[in-house]
Structure 1
Amino acid sequence: MLGPDAKKKTNHLALLALVLTCTLLFLSHLTRPWQLYEEVPFLAQDEELQDAPAAPTNKVAVILETRPLGNLVPLILHFSSILGPEWPIHIFTSPLNAMAFQLCPSFNRLLNSGGVHLQALPPGVPEDYPFHEPYSRSVFLTQSWLWERLEPAEHVFFFTSNSMICAKAEKTLDDFLEYDFIGAPMGRKLGAEVGEGESAEFRGGKEVCCWFALGEEPFGYELVQVADEKMDDVLRWCPEYVISMFNMTL
């Protein structure tokens, strides 16, 4: 038999254990990864494309990236500032990336204003889908799902983690809308191959391509284009290019 003092002490210990248990359960509930995933403002496949306030537009910018790269947030913020609100950016990514993006107040401001939109990948596509691999990316782009998701946009601008548009460029993306398809050539020989960073089969000739992604003062660059001996010239014209150079996995 326990005395009154022992019973009182036992009751206090039991109460303390109950409080600690409830606290731990509450904290674990708040930090469950799957609950955080559910809070990410991704859109289900049957929902409308747009769930944040934004002006109607027939132009969209798109980045497809599932890797947790350190340069994604500054890269996206830069592209948004140069492209402007007429080109809202749709980010097709993983829940893990979406959570990381939303730790940044400047990204959240852009998200809430409709300047960027987080998009889930379609059912059956793994969260780590290798968009950085040219073949996998091409396979994804040949499916109708993405294009239906971007409706009613008539103009789509793709960029990647290793591409950059230059703030000092005299032309804007809208200056190229008369062409069906334009982008950055991957090879040193003009038109030899089209890079995946800023996409080009087009009718404008060499002059248009030089304005867009070649020459001394282009609209933008893709990392694979720039030779080492040209880097100083590139950085003088487009110092923000360094953001695309640090597309390393966190």
Structure 2
Amino acid sequence: MIIESDVSASPNLIPTMLHFASVLGPAWSLVLFTLEEHWKMPYSPAFVRAVQRGQIEIRFLPPATELTRSHHVSDFLTRPWIWEHIESAHRVLVFQLDSIICSNSLYTIEAFFEYDFIGAPIDPQYGAGYNGGLSLRNPKLFVAIAKESDFRQSADHEFEDQWFYTEAVKRGAVLPTQLVAREFSVETIYHDRPLGYHQPQRWQRDKMKEVMDWCLEVGMLVGRRAV
């Protein structure tokens, strides 16, 4: 699942989605949530074919959904709407345009299905839990949290991923160790040869040679930064 309110403003959306579709394989379907008012089918024949065969699906966000700042994204993701639309899935891979999975990896996404929530572990100086920019989630748990708890009443968390982590711990969710989470994805804490990365140019700039040697696809992310 990827959420981009304005496809025309995201030039690397199509190659990134096609890359994820290729590495994930035909058993996976990708869902793009976007605003209908901004939607126009891309010219890319590869993208059109993926839509026609059902591997990529386009769904529309509620009109006037605002996602231009990180707090907008957190507010939207902590409401039930998005999770109710994907609740029937066993697990959902959430990705953003500043994340990538590596075709070199010996791991698969399915290898992490036992966990209710997993993403790159967050360095303690920035908080706790797992980064949501590239994360695998149990939508049934997330819709329950969104319905039962109120992010807007929480004074402890600014970001949706850390809030969901805290709520998941309270509910006894199955969560990975930091080592397993590092094998899944790298953001603020470095690890050799993970399955994927989130914002490596921002957080791992001193390790970019090692990152690029392992995961050439990281080059698709150049210039992407968090809002």
TM-score, reference length from structure 1: 0.66
SS in 2 for 1:148: helix
Q: Report what 2:175 is aligned to.
A: 203
For residue 199 of structure 2, the aligned residue among 212, 223, 243 is: 223
State the shift of 1:233 in Å: 0.7
- Return the match for 1:235 from 209, 212, 224: 212
Identity, in percent, stands at 33
List alignment gaps of at least 5 residues for structure 2.
Answer: 136-160, 166-173
Alpha-carbon offset, residue 69 of structure 1: 1.1
Equivalents in 2 of 1:205, 1:193: separation in Å? Answer: 10
Q: Distance in 1 between matches of 2:104 and 2:28?
A: 18
Map of 1:172 onto structure 2: 108
Matches of 1:164 and 1:69 in 2, distance apart?
Answer: 15
1:155-193: CA deviations, max 9, x gaps?
111000100000011010000000111012343769745
1:143–1:203: structure 2 CA closer, same or farther, 3 Å change rule? closer
Distance 1:164 1:119, change over 3 A: same
CA 1:235–1:66: 2 relative to 1, 3 Å: same
| 2:51 aligned with 1:111 | yes
User: What's 1:90 paired with?
Assistant: 31
**What residue number does 2:143 align with?**
none
Deviation at 1:87, TM superposition (A): 2.0
Work out which of the residue numbers 64, 78, 82 in structure 2 matches 1:146: 82
Quick one: which amino acid aligns to residue 65 of structure 1? E
Q: Which residue of 2 aligns with 1:49?
A: none
User: Hey, what's the Cα distance between the residues in 1 that align with 2:104 and 2:23?
Assistant: 10
Question: Is 2:5 the counterpart of 1:66?
Answer: yes
Q: Which has the larger radius of gyration?
A: 1
Q: CA deviation at 1:207?
A: 2.3
In 2, Cα distance between the equivalents of 1:189 and 1:84?
36
Contact 1:71–1:247 (8 Å) recurs in 2: no
The two structures have a TM-score, normalised by structure 2, of 0.72
* Equivalent pair of 1:183/1:213 in contact (CA under 8 Å): yes
Contact 2:121/2:182 (<8 A) preserved: no
Measure the CA separation in 2 of the matches of 1:97 and 1:188.
38
Contact persistence 1:71–1:246 (CA under 8 A):
no
Letter in 1 for 2:44: C
Q: Which amino acid in structure 2 is aligned with residue 148 of structure 1?
A: E
SS at match of 1:234: helix
Q: What value does the CA root-mean-square deviation take over the aligned residues?
A: 2.4
| SS at 2:119 equivalent | coil
Letter in 2 for 1:119: R
